[in-house]
Amino acid sequence: MAGSGFGKNIRISTFGESHGTALGVVIDGFPSGMELNPEDIQKLLDRRKPGTSEATTQRKEDDLVEILSGVFEGKTTGTPIALLVRNTSQRSSDYSDIANYYRPGHADFCFDAKYGFRDYRGGGRSSGRETVGRVAAGALCKKLLSQMGIEVMAYTRSIGDVEIDYSSFDKDAITRTPTSMPDVKASGRAMELIRKCREEEDSIGGTIECRITGVPAGVGEPVFDKLDALLAQAVVSIGAVKAVEFGDGISVSRYKGSENNDNFIMSGDKVTKKTNHSGGIIGGISDGSDILLRAHIKPTPSIARTQQTINKSGENIDINIHGRHDPVVVPRAVVVVEAMCAIVLLDLMISNMSSRASYITDFYNK
Amino acid sequence: MAGSGFGKNIRISTFGESHGTALGVVIDGFPSGMELNPEDIQKLLDRRKPGTSEATTQRKEDDLVEILSGVFEGKTTGTPIALLVRNTSQRSSDYSDIANYYRPGHADFCFDAKYGFRDYRGGGRSSGRETVGRVAAGALCKKLLSQMGIEVMAYTRSIGDVEIDYSSFDKDAITRTPTSMPDVKASGRAMELIRKCREEEDSIGGTIECRITGVPAGVGEPVFDKLDALLAQAVVSIGAVKAVEFGDGISVSRYKGSENNDNFIMSGDKVTKKTNHSGGIIGGISDGSDILLRAHIKPTPSIARTQQTINKSGENIDINIHGRHDPVVVPRAVVVVEAMCAIVLLDLMISNMSSRASYITDFYNK
Amino acid sequence: MAGSGFGKNIRISTFGESHGTALGVVIDGFPSGMELNPEDIQKLLDRRKPGTSEATTQRKEDDLVEILSGVFEGKTTGTPIALLVRNTSQRSSDYSDIANYYRPGHADFCFDAKYGFRDYRGGGRSSGRETVGRVAAGALCKKLLSQMGIEVMAYTRSIGDVEIDYSSFDKDAITRTPTSMPDVKASGRAMELIRKCREEEDSIGGTIECRITGVPAGVGEPVFDKLDALLAQAVVSIGAVKAVEFGDGISVSRYKGSENNDNFIMSGDKVTKKTNHSGGIIGGISDGSDILLRAHIKPTPSIARTQQTINKSGENIDINIHGRHDPVVVPRAVVVVEAMCAIVLLDLMISNMSSRASYITDFYNK
Amino acid sequence: MAGSGFGKNIRISTFGESHGTALGVVIDGFPSGMELNPEDIQKLLDRRKPGTSEATTQRKEDDLVEILSGVFEGKTTGTPIALLVRNTSQRSSDYSDIANYYRPGHADFCFDAKYGFRDYRGGGRSSGRETVGRVAAGALCKKLLSQMGIEVMAYTRSIGDVEIDYSSFDKDAITRTPTSMPDVKASGRAMELIRKCREEEDSIGGTIECRITGVPAGVGEPVFDKLDALLAQAVVSIGAVKAVEFGDGISVSRYKGSENNDNFIMSGDKVTKKTNHSGGIIGGISDGSDILLRAHIKPTPSIARTQQTINKSGENIDINIHGRHDPVVVPRAVVVVEAMCAIVLLDLMISNMSSRASYITDFYNK
């Protein structure tokens, strides 16, 4: 069953393996007339590019994007936009060992159970490199959203037990710190922790937060395609995410109604809320407040220290995984969260354009 | 945009409003030849039925299901199964007030923003009664799963700060306690808390846990239709759910790789794992261990104590919401979580049947 | 696999068997705010109702529609609209014979091959009664289309070798003649032919034409979801349709380019065409001219005269099919063609609302 | 709205413009373990390649396919297969004229109406070159079908008024004649006609027939996803197709039931039919007989002789279209019809694998 496609009005289909020829995405249904040049996409791809700091794998990939279709004279045409990134730094020899055993915490065993065999080089399709296509597609959606005053901003909230301090929130730091943290000091402490993990041949988890500002009220389809439900699918579909929260998230399970309810209040002639425990979504529909979610990410499963596992012959063995691995997934995943949120939001904003009969008749009768 | 449908191989379409004529579901793609009688469905519907204890609203609804199509001589035919539950205890007069204002924590304002007006009676489509169709559909999926040795079991893990004690886990208690807790003592304490909330004209949140046993390895489609990604959509789509965790969930953000990785180990000739931090899913695909997830649920937004809000004329007002409301959503939502998990799992198990070319050629060449 | 759903923005899910409890449809994604009362739907259902003339089966069904959800205070709410028609004149005893053999021209054998058994009463789900849900859904779409100046008009073009004469085209006759022909004289001759078929214990085929006026240019998605491609699926999905043509249809295979091309020409400040060989669709997109298609329909397979077939034990047998059958399917199928065309068109018109980036930014930035 | 994707279990997403960088397809959901090398695909691409005879355009394109993903060690992996064909012979200068006017019979005007502007070079996305991705995807489906004894064979049935003679049907001739006719003599006459059209600066239409053998009974989903309904969408979605017929097609509208019904009869212990007027499909489900359909194709709209049209300024003008055009679309479209039929059939065969509850329980309980 096809499982590498996402979205309804705008449908993305990603492809590619970690050590295959290329990765990419086809974006079908993107509207015509938006100016687009490769730099719009490259800027985001560069944020997830490996090899840029101690916090990431030492594999070097330029991840240069090529636009294959769907753009003419600098503008999107409304037809499918195919984006291609060729792999250049495959060292498949690194992976000859793992062909025969199942790495703990990796999908090796599950892929074999499902498909009978697998492209074992660097995790193949289950590698984090799969997200190249997501980020490329997200770049387009972010650009169009920005033209409606909507900003999708994710950042690292914590790595291990190092959390950012909201009182020193510095938006510019997100793209400047190697941790993608909006707090230079916390980032420094996180880098120390990461170095320590490296030394101990270990890895570490963390948390990404995403805030979306400027979303009008009314976006999201009730019942199954709720805004938060689709954001949950989108975010949990990112490898290594093990939990997602909206607004006050897990805390609400201990709240009373009087604590959790956000009171509506007029701010001039605009409806607003006194608090935002709901994270900007009620009943699956945006309420006009900031949308806020958090994704909790597990530590990189590839670690150098000795681990127990089994091989394909069903023998218990000890392994040490060498190679080029991120000691922490979080910093590079920040832009992936942004991308997925942007894709969901734009798709549901389009759906919302036909929510009223009058929207349709007004469009055609004008 | 259609948003009340869910699933690919088996597609459910739910309909109905809290105080409308009827609620129900059409289940399209359910396979032929499974024995089905109304009791199979009624049993689950009775678990979400209102009016059964102090923990629930005092609205009385029998929620009797009628099978309209798709079943012949006691067996499913492979054609759409339409299930209908008529509303019998609408007291729409209770809701005349709320026509003109927006209840805090409810979707009233969002529905108006989206659709221009709303069926305000009891929340209309945004009411928890919407889940009647989900539970009815889930009953069929649970039955077929059970014929493959798969059990989907959800229960209340906590209400407010009252948590179950796993050492006294009693499965039978889930359907016997008014809280749906598998722990009679904890349930007693939770009922006290609920009573206190009622007295204080307030409500309370809680957490539901779901454990799925017997799932073979290999279920789930990589990338966007991961088993956990679709479970996340399914669970967050249930009204009032504000967070979902898989396996160790949010805790993994503080783990090191060496703590979080589950080591594979042979148990006789069967692949198993020493631990199950992953909650039975790696890379979006089942690994043969128990699947474990948790949903965090906000307190019922309808509370009798005075709240601030605005009316449709844009005036700040004070309100007191009377009527028949659950002081806590959790106990009745347990069976909804089970239903949604069963629907996702069966759907992906069908997808998995064509994951290998040999599965297809074997099927047709035999 | 779910196969009883249709449409993307507006998704219909039909259900029900010929001799089951009820038939109906859930329409998900229909926009809010359109006035709707049962008569809007009933009027179209009455056009496909059986028992109204010699041209149809003598089974009497009132086919009264009940609106179960999605309408409040006389207007659609944007949430799923469930429509129900109960069966009242099941005479299942008529069908006890056919449980054991496969009627020529009917889907009996195919259903058994697929599902292992079947609801044999009146053809079950493969009966023409399945179209009740389509017509009910089509009624809503036609109403909204009419508010944009779009008319979907189908009629019987021929029954056997009796064709209408376009020079005496009388639109009002479509709903007045028992044949749904827009030509009273041709209809008279067709009725004679139908009577003769009855006497000979035989049945007859025919052709339905559909003309859609008022469609703006630009509707239809290139490549797979072309306007004509989806109309083709929609029309061929109606039981008994064996061919579909657009514009000049099969004739174009003998044309030269110079004969077939429609020259564009200005009519005042409006783009128009000198001819309409294309039937209003070029490259899968509407060109602003009338859309024209034809569906060719086979004769009713149920005939009283002796036929050869096999039974479930694999024996060759002779059968005579008695019961209440239409001698010709065409007159009652006319409104089904209208319904399906209306559903396709409205769905693609909604898709078209997001074809340009400026449409989206204009909607949200206003 | 995304419209360049097709299929459910196996989902193809095509991309690319006539004179853009590249064309291609992503095939998502194709099962693992099928041997695949580029030649499997190239063989079919070569059948639609331009520049091979007088019957085709003189544009030379090698149409060499590159496999970008989804294949490892010579076998499909179950993950998305991306296939790329780069354009090499773009002469966009040929098309500078047409930027400013609307060619009769082409989608130029419709694209502008929809998207506000268009990639005018060679028709952009509306060019026949769009089918490269379809054929590449079809090659994989055809290969897997052949492993189940199923052959999808299309051929030119007629060009203009030159029809093949079934009594001299020569299957090998299909790939040897420049017309794709299975009749060398008819092909010779057709080539004369084509030459004459060229001389007259004109073009000609024709008909393609497709016969699918070896399909088991039971394939196709009742109601909207009928085998014939999806084949109709698939075939009509091919540019220039204006009609599609199944079995006896339009002739059935003049048949009586006694003429049209195919009698079932035992052939040894196998169910068969005495005739095959239905073209192998009843009630939308395969009946085990050969599946037979015909597509009617319009003449190439690009002709050199003077035509009337309008320009973008809304002026009536005369034009002569020069450049490299096929005088007839039919011969190269034959393999496109095969590809689309193979994609539909394999997809529905997979759907059919979960039609019975016992199929699912047998799969998992073994």
- Average pLDDT over chain A, rounded to an integer: 95
| Partner residue facing A17 (CB), from D24, D28, D69 | D69
Instruction: Report d(CA D150, CA D146) in Å as an integer.
Output: 5
If we measure between CA atoms, which residue out of C339, C83, B220, C248 comes closest to residue A4?
A: B220
Question: According to the model, what pLDDT value does residue D51 have?
Answer: 72
CATH number, domain with residue B49: 3.60.150.10
| Partner residue facing C124 (CB), from B5, B24, B77 | B77
Tell me whether C217 touches chain A (CB under 8 Å): no
Question: According to the model, what pLDDT value does residue D52 have?
Answer: 75
Tell me whether B90 touches chain C (CB under 8 Å): no
* Cβ neighbours of D271 in C, within 8 Å: 102, 109, 310, 314
Identity of residue C145: L
Which subunits count as partners of chain C given 3+ CB pairs below 8 Å? Answer: A, B, D
CB contact under 8 A, A79 and D8: no
Check whether C59 has a pLDDT greater than 80.
no
- Average pLDDT over chain C, rounded to an integer: 95
Q: In the beta sheet, which residues pair with residue A74?
A: none
Question: According to the model, what pLDDT value does residue C50 have?
Answer: 75
| Partner residue facing C31 (CB), from A147, A216, A360 | A360
Which subunits count as partners of chain D given 3+ CB pairs below 8 Å? Answer: A, B, C
Please report the residues numbered 59 through 78 in chain A whose beta carbons come closer than 8 angstroms to any beta carbon of chain B. none
**Contact yes or no for C111/D283 (Cβ under 8 A):** yes
CB pairs under 8 A between A and C: 84
For chain B, how long is the longest CA-to-CA vector? Answer: 72
Secondary structure of chain C as H, E, C letters: CCCCEECCCCEEEEEECCCCCEEEEEEECCCECCECCHHHHHHHHHHHCCCCCCCCCCCCCCCCEEECCCEECCEECCCCEEEEEECCCCCHHHHCHHHHECCCCCCHHHHHHHHCCCCCHHHHHHCHHHHHHHHHHHHHHHHHHHCCCCEEEEEEEEECCEECCHHHCCCCHHHHCCCCCCCHHHHHHHHHHHHHHHHCCCCECEEEEEEEECCCCCCCCCHHHCHHHHHHHHHHCCCCEEEEEECCHHHHHHCEHHHHCCCEEEECCEEEECCCCCCCEECCEECCCCEEEEEEECCCCCCCCCEEEEECCCCEEEECCCCCCCCCCHHHHHHHHHHHHHHHHHHHHHHHCCCEHHHHHHHHHC
Give residue A330's Cα distance to chain centre.
Answer: 10
Tell me whether A318 touches chain B (CB under 8 Å): no
Please report the residues numbered 137 through 156 in chain C whose beta carbons come closer than 8 angstroms to any beta carbon of chain A. 144, 147-149
- φ, ψ (nearest 5 deg) of residue D269: -105, 20
Give the mean model confidence (pLDDT) for residues C52-71: 85
How near does any CA of chain C get to the CA of A79, in Å?
8
| Residue in D14, D15, D112 to test binding to A, most A beta-carbons within 10 Å | D15
pLDDT band at A59 (very low <50, low <70, confident <90, very high): confident
Tell me whether C355 touches chain D (CB under 8 Å): yes
Question: According to the model, what pLDDT value does residue D98 have?
Answer: 84
How near does any CA of chain C get to the CA of B95, in Å?
14
Long-range contacts of B47-52 (CB under 8 A, 24+ apart): B47/B135, B47/B175, B47/B180, B47/B332, B47/B334, B47/B335, B48/B131, B48/B132, B48/B135, B48/B332, B48/B333, B48/B335, B48/B336, B49/B332, B50/B324, B50/B326, B50/B332, B52/B178
Instruction: Report d(CA C68, CA B15) in Å as an integer.
Output: 8
Check whether D356 has a pLDDT greater than 80.
yes
Percentage of chain A exceeding pLDDT 90: 89
Q: Is A328 helix (H, G, I), strand (E, B) or coil?
A: coil
If we measure between CA atoms, which residue out of C344, C224, C281 comes closest to residue D234?
A: C224
How near does any CA of chain D get to the CA of C172, in Å?
24
Question: According to the model, what pLDDT value does residue C94 have?
Answer: 65
Tell me whether D323 touches chain C (CB under 8 Å): no
How near does any CA of chain B get to the CA of A349, in Å?
10
CB contact under 8 A, C33 and B116: yes
Q: How many domains does chain D have?
A: 1
For the stretch B215-245, pLDDT in tens is 999 999 999 999 999 999 999 999 999 999 9
Tell me whether B283 touches chain D (CB under 8 Å): no
Question: According to the model, what pLDDT value does residue D56 have?
Answer: 75
Q: Is the ipTM of this complex over 0.95?
A: yes
| Residue in D108, D195, D242, D359 to test binding to C, most C beta-carbons within 10 Å | D242
- In C, minimum Cα distance to A144 occurs at C357
What are the tokens at D319? 């034009």
Distances (CA, A) of A204 to A192, A195, B19, B278, B294: 12, 10, 51, 15, 23
CB contact under 8 A, B355 and A269: no
Residue ranges with strand state E in chain D = 5-6, 11-16, 22-28, 65-67, 71-72, 75-76, 81-86, 151-159, 162-163, 206-213, 241-246, 264-267, 270-273, 281-282, 285-286, 291-297, 307-310, 316-319
Count H helices and E strands in chain D, helices first.
9, 18
Give the mean model confidence (pLDDT) for residues A314-334: 91
Tell me whether B38 touches chain C (CB under 8 Å): no
CB contact under 8 A, A23 and D69: yes
For the stretch D239-284, pLDDT in tens is 999 999 999 999 999 999 999 999 999 999 999 999 999 999 999 9
Instruction: Report d(CA A349, CA C363) in Å as an integer.
Output: 10
Indicate the range of A196-205, B318-327, C72-81, C89-98 predicted with least confidence.
Answer: C89-98
pLDDT band at D93 (very low <50, low <70, confident <90, very high): low
* Cβ neighbours of D114 in A, within 8 Å: 32, 78
Check whether B29 has a pLDDT greater than 90.
yes
| Partner residue facing C360 (CB), from A144, A222, A358 | A144
CB within 8 Å of D233: residues ≥ 6 apart: C224, C229, C230, C232, C233
Check whether A92 has a pLDDT greater than 70.
no
Check whether C314 has a pLDDT greater than 70.
yes
Instruction: Report d(CA A141, CA A293) in Å as an integer.
Output: 19
* Cβ neighbours of A78 in D, within 8 Å: 114-115
Percentage of chain B exceeding pLDDT 70: 99
CB pairs under 8 A between B and D: 84
Q: Residue B52: give the domain boundaries.
A: 5-364
CB contact under 8 A, D217 and C300: no
Tell me whether C34 touches chain B (CB under 8 Å): no
Check whether B93 has a pLDDT greater than 70.
no
How near does any CA of chain A get to the CA of C352, in Å?
10
Tell me whether D359 touches chain C (CB under 8 Å): no
- In A, minimum Cα distance to B261 occurs at A105
Check whether C92 has a pLDDT greater than 80.
no
pLDDT band at D92 (very low <50, low <70, confident <90, very high): low
pLDDT band at A76 (very low <50, low <70, confident <90, very high): very high
CB contact under 8 A, D144 and B79: no
Which subunits count as partners of chain B given 3+ CB pairs below 8 Å? Answer: A, C, D
Task: Supply the Cα-derived Rg of chain C in whole angstroms.
Answer: 21
Indicate the range of C77-86, C180-189, D41-50 predicted with least confidence.
Answer: D41-50
Tell me whether A357 touches chain B (CB under 8 Å): no
- Average pLDDT over chain B, rounded to an integer: 95
What is the dihedral sign for C-alpha A166, A170, A173, A177? negative
Check whether C223 has a pLDDT greater than 90.
yes
If we measure between CA atoms, which residue out of B189, B214, B180 comes closest to residue B44?
A: B180
CB within 8 Å of D298: residues ≥ 6 apart: C252, C253, C255, C260, D105, D205, D240, D241, D242, D329
| Partner residue facing D261 (CB), from C3, C5, C104 | C104
| Residue in A15, A76, A114 to test binding to D, most D beta-carbons within 10 Å | A15
CB pairs under 8 A between A and B: 396
Please report the residues numbered 111 through 130 in chain A whose beta carbons come closer than 8 angstroms to any beta carbon of chain B. 111, 113-116, 125-126, 130
For the stretch A213-254, pLDDT in tens is 999 999 999 999 999 999 999 999 999 999 999 999 999 999
What are the tokens at D277? 């007027």
pLDDT band at B96 (very low <50, low <70, confident <90, very high): confident
> Where is pLDDT greater, at C358 or D1?
C358
CB contact under 8 A, C4 and B67: no
Tell me whether A323 touches chain B (CB under 8 Å): no
* Cβ neighbours of C72 in B, within 8 Å: 17, 20, 117-119, 124
CB contact under 8 A, C360 and A76: no
Give the mean model confidence (pLDDT) for residues B63-75: 97
| Residue in D4, D10, D96 to test binding to A, most A beta-carbons within 10 Å | D4
Tell me whether D8 touches chain A (CB under 8 Å): yes
Distances (CA, A) of A305 to A137, A295, A311, A320, D272: 36, 27, 18, 6, 66
Give the mean model confidence (pLDDT) for residues D61-75: 95
Give residue B275's Cα distance to chain centre.
Answer: 27
CB contact under 8 A, A351 and C9: yes
CB contact under 8 A, C353 and A354: yes
Tell me whether A161 touches chain B (CB under 8 Å): yes
If we measure between CA atoms, which residue out of C226, C323, C350 comes closest to residue C278?
A: C226
Indicate the range of C340-354, D48-62, D244-258 predicted with least confidence.
Answer: D48-62
Instruction: Report d(CA A235, CA B246) in Å as an integer.
Output: 13
Question: According to the model, what pLDDT value does residue A250 have?
Answer: 97
Question: According to the model, what pLDDT value does residue B215 have?
Answer: 98
CB contact under 8 A, B28 and C11: no
